[in-house]
Amino acid sequence: MTTKLFGQRIRRVEDPRLLSGRGRYLDDLGHDALAVAFVRSPHAHARVLDIDVSAALEVEGLVAIFSYDDLDGKTSEPLPLLIPHPALTHGRTPYALAKDEVNHVGEAIVMVVASDRYVAEDVVGLIRVDYELLPPVVGVERARDGGALVHDDVPGNVAATMVQEVGDAAAAIDASPRRQRLQLSIERSASMPMEGKGVLARWDADDESLLVHTSTQTSTSVRQAIAAKLSLPVDRVEVVTPDVGGGFGVKIVHPWPEEILVPWASVRLNRPVKWVEDRREHFISSAHERGQLHDVTVGYGDDGRVTGLSVQFWHDNGAYTPYGLIVPIITSTQLLGPYKPTAYRVEFASLYTNTVMVTPYRGAGRPQGCFVMERVMDAIAADLGLDRALVRERNFIQPDEMPYDHGLTFQDGRPLIYDSGDFPASLSKLKQLVGWDDFAKYRERAAAEGRRVGIGLACYVEGTGVGPYEGGHIRVETDGSVVVSTGLTTQGQGHQTMLAQIVADELGVPMERVRVTTGDTRRFKYAVGTFASRTAVMSGSAVALTARKVRAKALRIASNALEAAVDDLEIVDGHVQVKGSPGSQVDLGAVAVLSNPLRYAFDEAAARATQFATPHDPDQPPVAADDEPGLEGSGFFSPTRSTFANGMHAVVVETDPDTAEVKILRYCVVHDCGTIINPMIVEGQVHGGVAQGIGGALFERMEYDESGQLLNASYMDFLMPYASEIPHIEIDHLETPSPLNPLGVKGAGEAGVIPVSAAIAAAIEDAEGVVITAMPISPSELFDLRRAREQRGEAR
Amino acid sequence: MTPEPLHEVTLTVNHVPHQLRLPARRLLSDALRHDVRLTGTHVGCEHGVCGACTVLLDGQPIRSCLMFAVTADGASITTTEGCLEPDGELGAVQEAFHDCHALQCGFCTPGFITTITAYLETHPNPSEQQAREAIGGNLCRCTGYQNIVAAVLRAAEIKRERSAP
Ligand code: FES
Ligand code: FES
């Protein structure tokens, strides 16, 4: 009997290739392609008056210089607004090359194509652009006061305002026995994958076709976008995602200007053309996220139960809004976490600033929402002198209330209904894991040694597996190997392993026989993309359903060959056999041969399917009217709604009494992503998410000065955590299956990052006795909070 | 403008000598990737911080994005491809990464493999804390390092197993 692979810690099939240097990332391809570099704006806000290329023209190796005026057809129009929303009344997107105005440092103005990147950068250095400077708008406060405008035709810098309300929050808060108001903020960070973006385009003039490789999270949509922009038939464009060195959200945005310009230049020059982003370009011209200010009023009872919650927040969307309102919509809905305030009102304004645009970064608005809600819970506990875990417990949605309808609309345009989860069980697991109830004793012991320690916890719920759909194609080859294609892309999450586990189980074949391809439009044309922790839910379910179809076909064909009823057959280890009598069997490769009636015996296996080799019914066509040749099939999965994963984190910190440095002593996670396909991979996702969360809580921020210069646009100055900053992470799982998909799974990719700032803020607050309202927090900021408290004469 | 002068450079990469004619400013990382065409060595920052481009120069880990190829003339270089066993199987550190799920996207991985390979030569039996310090100069955005630390320990174990008679 084949052992079930689902749920096992299977080592990844991706690894041997990547470990031996045989990975193929974007810049590993197209060594002989022409190279691209860009003249990017050094100013945050300016009119472009003149571009002078005369000094550059003599450079040996220069091939072409393009500016906006060279763009033709639809390439000269603004890039698409990917996710329109009725509330986004003033959506703005950039041109592929700046037309006459630049709105952030780093915006591309001139494209240089040369023999290699060194030469292209030489040319960039010789091109002179004259600017008329305009007043830059940097930071939410400046955007909000509306004194200067990012876009002349967007009054008050307001891209959108949106309100959602259930019940009458204002009245509920007024009627509450207790009330508090909190001002909370989170700063900008960014996905910052180790591999930047990159595009390689190869136009084949003879075939009139375009092959594009791009480091993206959605090859199918990039394909459509390129075809539309270049006015090519979609049929003549294919987009392949090679190995991708991390995405974390930034690569779901598309088409990036370069994803249009590089293919366009390849067609125009009739040469392979490649652009590979360098780190500085990534900092100043990709995307950031997280920057939001929140003003929160909460009403609650003496028991700590929230009766009304009103949140107003301001979202800094940067210079453009190609990704619509997804991030603030997620904040405003997922803020609620595992809780059920009786009445809730949320209002946000999405504001333009002269900074890099803001699009989802792992967590996508949830870390901010979780920070807000969990700070509220801690504030209530502090006010009432109650245990912080108890206040949370009292506000939890209970398991018997599932499915729970919040009465709001989620980011997929569908109702915010939690499908399953057991929050009290998760909390009790977490308390046990971290030793919540014994912490007071630990604190006393530490205090006796002159050490300051604190503990914090935070809970979240994450809508995952967002629609509309994903699909898969599975073919059993005549040698018995199984080829699986799904359209969405992969950036290191182990999708090939996870999907192979599912297919191997469903089909009854050894996993080594299964090969999985992702993100290649030549192989599968219909997909949405990899975002919102959706691959296991969406593609996992799609390939499972497809495998069931293929299995049914295999059984049908084999039942003829074995002269046994379908119901009496099983597939074990790649063979179809009569249940209980493994002597009577046919291997899947042979079934694949029989599935495809042939005229020509091009190899030995094929000979078995030719016209004189097989017995057949002379009155029936070789392929039945409702059938197709081949042991293969396609299938799709499209759920009615997102499925909601959840988790809870607890962290113990120690703060240095002199330097105010924060050291994480323990980090504990309880994670519920439904049934788990591969625990090793899920834990890896949690580790990585927590590490990014710690970066966002203690180290990472985009330091814009008031003129809009990003002062820390390098790995030297933007502090991402090394191994020395990340503690050992302790994980416990709860598996509450989702009723919304055939596998019972929920997404796990983003989870780890969501509650980290909230939990660490709570732990520092607990250690220090200062109220924390803004994250990330640096040692000098904590030092200042301490000093302010001392000046107020308060004791710790 | 006059074309850039080219220089004769000999790089012995994973025991194979390569004669190259390169401009003086060509980075060693680019020479390895685009001239020798061994793309296992990755470039994450090109300013010496991430460590993805780490290769061994005469056995010592260096950042190949911070060195000109001409500077490495005559040197013997080991890249992640050179960390495989002679028969092409995964080397001890690579196998340990596979065992411990110490890579996700794999982009930072070559720099860790080379760094750890060199480290274990001089520290065959590290503690967990030492393992963490050994990888303290390399950035990874995917894994949170926990499994990489475990892989350092596992690699030491595999090395011992493989060298046992
Ligand atoms: S690429 Fe060399 S250290 Fe980052
Ligand atoms: S595995 Fe992706 S950066 Fe380390």
Tens-place pLDDT, residues A82-116: 999 999 999 999 999 999 999 999 999 999 999 99
Terminal Cα distance for chain A, rounded: 64
| Average pLDDT value over all residues in chain A | 94
Nearest residue of chain B to residue A193 (CA atoms): B141
Task: Decide the pairing of beta strands A774-775 and B6-13.
Answer: unpaired
Phi, psi of A163 (to 5 degrees): -125, 135
| Chain A closest-CA separation from residue B68 CA (Å) | 13
What is the predicted pLDDT for the residue at A795?
65
Question: Does A755 have pLDDT greater than 60?
Answer: yes
Residue A43 near residue A56 (C-beta atoms within 8 A) = no
- Which residue type, as a one-letter code, is found at position A661? E
Question: Does B94 have pLDDT greater than 90?
Answer: yes
The number of the ligand nearest the C-alpha atom of B51 reads: 1
Domains of chain A and CATH, by start: 32-134+191-285 (3.90.1170.50), 365-464+641-791 (3.30.365.10), 468-637 (3.30.365.10)
| Residues of chain B contacting residue A680, judged by C-beta atoms under 8 Å apart | 101
Task: Decide the pairing of beta strands B54-57 and B76-78.
Answer: antiparallel
As given in the structure block, the two tokens for residue A289 are 């996220």
Count CB neighbours of A222 within 10 A. Answer: 29
What is the predicted pLDDT for the residue at B1?
63
Query: Could you give the percent of chain B with pLDDT greater than 70?
Result: 99
**Where does residue A52 rank: exposed (0-12), middle (13-18), buried (19+ CB within 10 A)?**
exposed
Contact A60 B3 (CB under 8 A): yes
What are A618-656's pLDDT values in tens digits? 888 888 888 899 999 999 989 989 999 999 999 999 999
- Is it true that domain B6-82 has CATH number 3.50.50.60? no
Count of helices and strands (H, E) across chain A: 20, 29
Question: What DSSP line would sit under chain B, residue for residue?
Answer: -PPPPEEEEEEEETTEEEEEEEETT-BHHHIIIIIS--TTS--S-SSSSS-TTEEEETTEEEEGGGSBGGGGTT-EEE-GGGGS-TTSSPPHHHHHHHHHT--SS-SSHHHHHHHHHHHHHH-SS--HHHHHHHTTT---SSS-SHHHHHHHHHHHHHHHHHH--
CATH code of the domain occupying B92-163: 1.10.150.120
What mean pLDDT do residues A210-229 have?
96
Please count the residues of chain B. 165
Task: Report the atom number in ligand 2 closest to the C-alpha of B105.
Answer: 2
CB contacts < 8 A (A, B)? 172
Q: Is B52 in the pocket of ligand 1 (CB under 6 A)?
A: yes
Tell how far the Cα of B48 is from the centroid of ligand 1, in angstroms: 4
Q: Please state the domain extents for chain B.
A: 6-82, 92-163
Query: Could you give the percent of chain A with pLDDT greater than 90?
Result: 83
**3-state SS string for A360-382:** CCCCCCHHHHHHHHHHHHHHHHH
Question: Does A419 have pLDDT greater than 80?
Answer: yes
What mean pLDDT do residues B51-68 have?
97
Task: Decide the pairing of beta strands A237-240 and A729-733.
Answer: unpaired
Q: How many CA atoms lie within 13 A of A16 on its CB side?
A: 7
Contact B141 A243 (CB under 8 A): no
Contact B98 A12 (CB under 8 A): yes
Q: 3-class SS at A632?
A: strand
| Chain B closest-CA separation from residue A632 CA (Å) | 30
Tell how far the Cα of A594 is from the centroid of ligand 2, in angstroms: 44
What are A52-61's pLDDT values in tens digits? 999 999 999 9
What is the predicted pLDDT for the residue at A222?
95
Question: Does A2 have pLDDT greater than 70?
Answer: no
Contact B105 A28 (CB under 8 A): no
Model pTM score? 0.95
Question: Does A3 have pLDDT greater than 70?
Answer: no
Return all residues near A298 (Cβ < 8 A) that are at least 6 apart: A173, A179, A180, A181, A182, A306, A308, A309, A310, A341, A376, A379, A380
Please state which of the ranges A200-214, A225-239, A324-338, A624-638 shows the lowest mean pLDDT. A624-638
What mean pLDDT do residues A386-407 have?
96
So what's the ipTM on this one?
0.97
Question: What DSSP line would sit under A210-248, residue for residue?
Answer: EEEEE--S-HHHHHHHHHHHHT--GGGEEEE--B-S--T
Residue with tokens 């976008």: A225
Count CB neighbours of A564 within 10 A. Answer: 18
* DSSP H helices in A436-540: 439-448, 495-507, 535
Question: Does A1 have pLDDT greater than 50?
Answer: no
The pLDDT-based confidence of B165 (bands split at 50, 70, 90) is confident
Q: 3-class SS at A107?
A: coil
Task: Report the atom number in ligand 2 closest to the C-alpha of B142.
Answer: 2
What is the distance between the alpha carbons of residues B68 and B70, in angstroms, rounded to a whole number? 5
Return all residues near A487 (Cβ < 8 A) that are at least 6 apart: A219, A220, A470, A471, A518, A519, A521, A524, A525, A526, A527, A528
As given in the structure block, the two tokens for residue B146 are 């926990």
Q: Is B33 in the pocket of ligand 1 (CB under 6 A)?
A: no
What mean pLDDT do residues A417-422 have?
93
Question: Does A75 have pLDDT greater than 50?
Answer: yes
